């Protein structure tokens, strides 16, 4: 996880590596719109499975699969746990009681802490949404050269300063993990044992001894980078070349994807209208039934 090469984009001859970055960005945006539009857990799980298939097509390494699994599982656990405890919609079905209302002090303050079944279900749906976007985001960063990303942003007339800072933030993430690995290695060589005891004082000491050196090294790198880009004329009004041919086949695919997403959003609006009793067409009953299952 702390290996910088795991986080940076690597060249490859797979289909996803050869696609234009703009095509991958359009696919990412399309998935984002679809993920926000549909509410069916079945459809969201299908979309998440498709993103995993994309990772398999791109031949992601075992280390990258581990990173993806860790982030997705942490997101699922955090979303389901938080929603199960703090779900405030009705109806709510209590599955377990962690703190009863009659418990001294905490029971009176919180009015009881319960685990709700509907909260778990709602949290799972939200976790699928975040997992889909996380999976596609990592796939984009692992299969796309940052320079091509910058050219793609510029071809869409994004301000150069904004595009450069977005790419710099993506390039800086592997640096942070590399700095973390260096700091942890240096502390272990000095005899530092972070998990020797589990006392609160020791955990706080461990956090300070780890975070401050990482922050200091990262700030030094950021200052060096700032001086470098400023000396090269960053932010000045200069003519920049961003010509990058976009194949007709990929452009047509993006147009078709945009039309499909627009059609899906239209169906969702139609479903919301009939659900609220505003517009209902009896001849489309089978379509409404299908949307109830898949949307």
151 and 134 share one domain: no
Mean pLDDT (whole number) for 273-291: 78
78 and 151 share one domain: no
Last residue of a domain, one of 93, 113, 144: 144
Residue 232 three-state SS? coil
Cis peptide before 191 (omega within 30 of 0): no
184 and 211 share one domain: yes
130 and 25 share one domain: yes
Domain extent, residue 158, equals 146-244
Is the pLDDT confidence value at 256 over 90? yes
CA distances 161 to 115, 172, 241, 253, Å, are 47, 16, 15, 30
Residues 6+ apart with CB under 8 A from 11: 17, 145
CA distance 168 to 150: 10
Nearest Cα residue to 145 out of 153, 156, 157? 153
166 and 240 share one domain: yes
Last residue of a domain, one of 144, 178, 213: 144
139 and 150 share one domain: no
Number of domains in the chain: 3
Is the pLDDT confidence value at 15 over 80? yes
Model pTM?
0.77
98 and 170 share one domain: no
Interval 151-196: pLDDT, tens: 888 778 777 777 777 777 777 777 777 777 777 777 777 766 655 5
């Amino acid at each position: 996880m702390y290996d910088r090469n795991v986080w940076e984009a690597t060249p490859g001859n797979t289909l996803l590596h050869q696609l234009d970055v703009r095509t991958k960005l359009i696919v990412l945006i399309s998935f984002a719109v679809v993920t926000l539009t549909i509410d069916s857990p079945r459809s969201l799980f299908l979309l998440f499975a498709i993103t995993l298939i994309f990772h398999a097509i791109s031949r992601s390494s075992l280390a990258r699969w581990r990173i993806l699994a860790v982030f997705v599982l942490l997101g699922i656990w955090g979303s389901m746990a938080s929603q199960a405890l703090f779900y405030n919609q009705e109806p709510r079905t209590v599955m377990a009681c962690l703190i009863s209302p009659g418990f001294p002090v905490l029971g009176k303050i919180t009015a009881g802490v319960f685990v709700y079944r509907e909260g778990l279900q709602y949290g799972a749906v939200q976790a699928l949404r975040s997992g889909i976007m996380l999976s596609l985001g990592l796939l984009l960063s692992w299969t796309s050269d940052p320079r091509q990303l910058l050219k793609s942003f510029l071809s869409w007339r994004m301000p150069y300063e904004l595009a450069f800072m977005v790419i710099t933030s993506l390039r800086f993430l592997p640096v942070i993990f590399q700095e973390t690995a260096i700091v942890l290695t240096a502390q272990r060589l000095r005899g530092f044992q972070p998990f020797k005891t589990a006392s609160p004082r020791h955990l706080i000491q461990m956090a300070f001894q780890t975070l401050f050196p990482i922050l200091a090294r990262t700030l030094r790198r950021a200052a060096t980078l700032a001086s470098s880009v400023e000396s090269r004329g960053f932010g000045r009004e200069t003519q920049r070349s961003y010509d990058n041919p976009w194949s007709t086949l990929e452009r047509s695919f993006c147009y078709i994807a945009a039309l499909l997403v627009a059609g899906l959003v239209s169906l969702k609006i139609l479903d919301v209208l009939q659900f609220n009793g505003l517009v209902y067409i009896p001849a489309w009953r089978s379509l409404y039934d299908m949307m109830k299952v898949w949307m």
